[in-house]
């Protein structure tokens, strides 16, 4: 098992059990104590755990928030290194003085974290967590699309959101996806979110899908875009190469960013 997968398994275990013991992790993953020590050091750097004698526990903020934490925030813990690499590349496409649309989701939230240095940026979003992230940047103008709040994703959807999106002409629209398959293209797990995604695609001069490897060969409830409707797909070198070839064949620019080499050992 490569490191990125093992560390995400540890994160998932922490969400359920709240704490872990290093000795148990050594046995479960059949790796050395030193390997687990490096894993826990990395999770501590990410602000997820607090190490203690013999193991680690979730930081107080996450520990207290788990009963009410929205799924979109829980997803920040999953495949974090991979999403960060994808988001960093996606953010590099954006220049000063541009207008961008950012969809809701954990990977688009990661993009927001890498855009706060961009000058005179205008951000249009339906995601509460994305807007909150940009609120720390004085040089960014934030426009929140109105509508009904979907609590599981902290996103705003519905006819009002779709109508407002028709007003915009953005340089880029960055969207996530619940699933990517050859038969259905890019899919969403929510019908209303899919409608908003379609409006975002129509409002973007260039449309960028950002997706970690877990989204491939997985199908959401409803399709919001065919492969032909987007310009760029940014994923990682862990993604299914067969589907990537299919997407390239219809003229989409496919970018596969390398996951940190240390995470593959």
Per-run averaged pLDDT (10 residues), the chain, 265 residues: 75 81 92 92 82 86 51 59 91 97 92 93 94 88 92 86 94 96 90 92 97 89 92 95 94 91 41
Contact 175, 210 (CB under 8 A): yes
Q: What was the pLDDT predicted at 222?
A: 85
Q: Where are the domains of the chain?
A: 3-68, 76-264
Query: Do the two domains 3-68 and 76-264 of this chain adopt the same fold?
Result: no
Architecture (CATH level 2) of domain 3-68? Orthogonal Bundle (1.10)
pTM exceeds 0.75 for this model: no
Q: What was the pLDDT predicted at 114?
A: 92
**Burial level of 234, CB count in 10 A (0-12/13-18/19+)?**
buried
* Domain covering 76-264, topology: Rossmann fold (3.40.50)
Q: How far apart are the first and last CA of the chain?
A: 8
Q: Write the CB contacts of 182 (distance below 8 Å, at least 6 apart in sequence).
A: 243, 246
């Amino acid at each position: 098992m490569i490191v990125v997968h093992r560390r995400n398994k540890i994160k998932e275990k922490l969400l359920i059990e709240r704490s872990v013991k290093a000795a148990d992790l050594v046995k479960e993953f059949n790796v050395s104590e030193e390997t687990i020590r490096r894993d826990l050091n990395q999770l501590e750097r990410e602000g997820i755990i607090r190490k203690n004698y013999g193991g680690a526990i979730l930081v107080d903020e996450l520990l207290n928030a788990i009963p009410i934490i929205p799924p979109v925030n829980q997803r920040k813990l999953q495949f974090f290194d991979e999403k960060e690499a994808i988001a960093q590349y996606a953010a590099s496409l954006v220049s000063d003085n541009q207008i961008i649309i950012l969809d809701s989701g954990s990977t688009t939230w990661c993009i927001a974290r890498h855009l706060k240095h961009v000058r005179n940026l205008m951000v249009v979003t339906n995601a509460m967590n994305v807007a909150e992230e940009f609120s720390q940047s004085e040089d960014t103008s934030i426009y929140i699309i109105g509508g009904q709040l979907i609590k599981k994703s902290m996103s705003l959807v519905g006819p009002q959101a779709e109508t407002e999106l028709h007003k915009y002409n953005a340089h880029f629209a960055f969207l996530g996806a619940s699933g990517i398959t050859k038969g259905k293209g890019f899919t969403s797990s929510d019908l209303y979110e899919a409608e908003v995604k379609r409006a975002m695609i129509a409002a973007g001069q260039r449309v960028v899908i950002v997706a970690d490897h877990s989204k491939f060969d997985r199908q959401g409830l409803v399709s919001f875009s065919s492969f032909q409707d987007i310009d760029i797909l940014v994923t990682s070198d862990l993604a299914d190469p067969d589907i990537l070839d299919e997407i390239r064949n219809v003229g989409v620019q496919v970018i596969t960013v390398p996951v940190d080499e240390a995470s593959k050992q």
